[in-house]
């Protein structure tokens, strides 16, 4: 019995020593993450997305981004690299595959000026004729290297495609949680880029971004807004005017973990928040040595997210908060994108759930008055 009592702590000590000496996969950086804004006033979680309608539950694996067709169809990308269309047949929704673009996730979508659908798959930017399914690859490289994590995009008034590369280091795959590794390392591996759809030329507009994600053109087309997910930051890159070529931070302490971004053309921005800010993430950012140790454990041990508390944040282009719409029970999981349809509705895409949401905006949002007035 005495021998057994000695062997057990000795074995634990050996395991701890191996854990300490085992080479780390990640190299986390210190960041004195600020405390998240209080969810009061227009940020108060009133659970209004409880009134959102579910669409296509079970027909999809997710809906990271989506766009609306003129015929009422919904187009969204899938984790297996396909582009699918949903349409309503009576009371039921049907789905069909339009094109197989790649074997990696399709994350960002937007209509081009020529009517084709531009898709950002993790490893490239594609243009798709949705009537024929014919697809053209526009770009697979940036700054002389292969794209590893093309994320979101928008199209400018002249047809230029503005897209983000979330991380050049941690390439994205359907079954590999690379975005979590980027979250843990907390280093600037992302970029904002521009793509000429005619010449295929790509150029970096801004690099050293922290998981560059959502992209949206300003209402006047003179700047483009960009989200950095793990810096909780919204910035804009000026394309025209006296500030052309400059970078401006609009909000560097957003109240949630931001993913997708969409403007409504009138000066309102809609930010899809995967979830509310996570205190544990703040602790990890402030303790990189401990984070390095934790990430030596198997993924299934340390990559444990709590129940999502996703919401949609509405703000103006100056960074003023106007309203928010919270998911009270996690039906839409990690809310990845939101699309205002110009007709009093929001379409909600999810990173983690096999469903699309439709939410009718409150009467206060109709007309020309900002939310909350």
Task: Give pLDDT, residue 178.
Answer: 79
Degrees, nearest 5: CA angle 263-269-273: 115
Domain 44-362 has CATH 1.10.287.1080: no
Task: Give pLDDT, residue 373.
Answer: 32
Give the start-to-end residue ranges of the domains of the chain: 44-362
Task: Give pLDDT, residue 367.
Answer: 43
pLDDT along the chain (373 residues), means of 10: 54 57 80 97 98 95 94 94 94 95 95 98 96 97 93 97 95 76 92 95 97 98 97 98 96 98 96 94 92 82 75 98 97 96 94 96 53 34
Task: Give pLDDT, residue 365.
Answer: 47
Task: Give pLDDT, residue 19.
Answer: 54
Task: Give pLDDT, residue 2.
Answer: 52
What does pTM read for this prediction?
0.91
Half-sphere exposure of 121 (CA within 13 A, CB side): 30
């Amino acid at each position: 019995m005495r021998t057994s009592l000695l062997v057990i702590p000795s074995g634990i000590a050996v395991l701890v020593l191996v854990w300490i000496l085992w080479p780390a996969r990640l190299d986390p950086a210190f960041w004195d993450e600020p405390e998240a804004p209080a969810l009061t006033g227009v940020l108060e979680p009133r659970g209004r997305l409880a009134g959102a309608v579910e669409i296509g539950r079970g027909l999809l694996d997710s809906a990271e981004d989506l766009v609306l067709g003129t015929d009422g169809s919904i187009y969204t990308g899938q984790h297996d690299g396909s582009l699918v269309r949903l349409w309503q047949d009576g009371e039921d929704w049907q789905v069909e595959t339009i094109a197989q673009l790649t074997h990696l996730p399709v994350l960002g979508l937007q209509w081009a000026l020529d009517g084709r659908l531009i898709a950002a798959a993790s490893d490239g930017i594609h243009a798709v004729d949705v009537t024929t399914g014919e697809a053209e690859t526009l770009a697979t490289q940036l700054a002389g290297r292969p794209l590893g994590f093309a994320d979101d995009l928008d199209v400018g008034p002249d047809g230029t495609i503005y897209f983000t590369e979330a991380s050049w280091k941690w390439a994205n795959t359907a079954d590999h949680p690379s975005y979590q590794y980027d979250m843990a390392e907390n280093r600037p591996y992302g970029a904002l880029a521009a793509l000429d759809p005619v010449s295929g030329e790509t150029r970096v507009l801004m690099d050293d971004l922290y998981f560059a994600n959502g992209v949206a053109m300003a209402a006047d087309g003179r700047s483009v807004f960009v989200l950095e997910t793990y810096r909780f930051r919204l910035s804009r890159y000026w394309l025209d005017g006296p500030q052309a070529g400059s970078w401006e931070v609009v909000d560097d302490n957003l109240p949630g973990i931001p993913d997708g971004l969409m403007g409504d053309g009138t000066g309102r921005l809609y930010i899809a928040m995967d979830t509310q800010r996570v205190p544990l993430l703040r602790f990890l950012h402030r303790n990189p040595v401990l984070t390095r140790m934790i990430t030596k454990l198997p993924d299934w041990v340390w990559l444990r997210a709590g129940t999502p508390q996703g919401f949609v944040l509405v703000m103006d282009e100056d960074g003023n908060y106007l309203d928010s719409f919270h998911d009270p029970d996690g039906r839409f999981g990690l809310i990845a994108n939101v699309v205002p349809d110009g007709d009093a509705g929001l379409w909600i895409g999810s990173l983690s759930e096999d469903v699309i949401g439709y939410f009718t905006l409150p009467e206060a949002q109709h007309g020309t008055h900002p939310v909350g007035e």
